Amino acid sequence: MKYEGQVNVNASRQEIMSYMDNVEKLVPCFPKIKQFSKNQDGSYDVIGSVGIGFIKGEYRANVKLEKINDESLKMTAKGKGMNSNVDIDATIQVQNNLIKYSAEVKVSGTLATVGARMMGSAVEGIVNDLFSCFKKQIEKT
């Protein structure tokens, strides 16, 4: 599944990149994060909970955020939980006061089979909420 979108932010490119390049600032926007810790390789281990339709439970993920250049970031996440696996490869580009994102999400296991019909709209809602939260947090500073 591929998700793309953009958010206008009332901030400069430098302010946006400063925020987006700091995982500790981003974490509060992710839904229902219970715990996160930084690894020696710069990635983060995350524990949280999620619900898609009637399928609810805890997940564990490894998330890595890499700065590509002064305008782009790459985020990869590999998660497991609820008898499912989720891999996310996302690119985030900042152009002036605009955040553009593109994410490829691969799901296997229970979520892919039982929750397939609900998955697309649920993930799209989570992604939209996430970037709306980023916008609010950036504009606060």
Distances in whole angstroms, Cα of residue 23 to Cα of each of 39, 83, 89, 94, 114: 12, 27, 16, 16, 32
- pLDDT tens digits, residue range 34-43? 999 999 999 9
**Which value, in Å, is the radius of gyration of the alpha carbons in the chain?**
15
CA 27 to chain CA mean position, Å? 9
Give the residue among 107, 125, 136, 140 at the shortest CA–CA distance from 5: 125
Give the integer Cα–Cα distance in Å for 3 and 123: 9
* 100: pLDDT strictly greater than 90: yes
- Confidence bin at 126 (pLDDT 50/70/90): confident
